[in-house]
Amino acid sequence: MPDFNAQREMPTVLLIDDDLVSREVMATVLTMSGYPVHTAVDGAASLELLASGQCVPGVVLMDAQMPGLSGSELIAELRALTRAGIFAISASQPPAEVTAAVDGFLLKPFSPDDLRKLLEARAPQPAPISALDPDEPVVDAKILAQLREMMPEAKVREIYAAILADLATRQLALDAAIAKRDAAEVRRIGHAIKGGCGMAGAVQIARLGALLEAMKLEAGGDDLDNGVRLLRDLHTASTNLQRMLEAGFTA
């Protein structure tokens, strides 16, 4: 699919339509709206245009029903020549095999805004940002040293093993609470994680617990997505602690 940059550059459109009036009207409207447009009178002409390198589209708009090469056969040929998003355009619902093969469908007549919305809805979304700091220690070295002074190494390991077992249960409860938008339960679990892991010096996990404790899961907000991200980060932090435990806290 076309990737819009920070300046929201309009993708080049390859418009394939055998109807002269429809083709010219759509090309004119799209051009006036800022889209660079190339046109082809049929499927064969569009393939020749792509093969020649004269057109490198970000979007292909193809009439769903044309004489000659068309439909799913044309779509397969287009896929072999371009990585552009391919959208069927038609005044009626296209055949099922066509809608299954394309990236989307626009009903004629459509506006440039309809096309923009369709492209934005299918544009790649940025990868979610992790709340984990790669420079943050998994375990606070000072607290770990204090624990080792207070008790045998086996007991220290037992404490961290218990933390991991408890986290496994709490992660399941968090998953259910976030899905239900149960903010009170999420905050309660986050508070418990922050307190227990903070005492044991599990720095990464304790900070994630604090972030969960502050969540609101407000209706219409993005806190639900943040909760899912924090749950994923919590799993990663747990894995980091597990690896340290297995390595004898030498990593």
Q: Which domains does the chain have, with CATH numbers?
A: 13-122 (3.40.50.2300), 141-246 (1.20.120)
Percent of the chain with pLDDT over 70: 88
Task: Return the amino acid letter for 73.
Answer: E
Taking 3-state DSSP, the helix, strand and coil percentages for the chain, each rounded to the nearest 5, stand at 55, 10, 35
pTM of the model: 0.48
Residue 5 has pLDDT above 50, yes or no: no
pLDDT in tens, 101-140: 888 888 888 888 888 787 777 655 454 556 777 788 999 9
Q: Could you tell me the two tokens for 189?
A: 């679990």
Average pLDDT along the chain: 84
Q: Which of 67, 4, 66, 12 is nearest to 39 (CA)?
A: 12
Question: From its phi and psi, is residue 25 left (phi > 0), alpha (psi between -120 and 50) or beta?
Answer: alpha
Q: Measured between alpha carbons, how far is 2 from 57 in angstroms, rounded to an integer? A: 9
Provide the CB-side half-sphere exposure for 217 (13 A, CA): 19
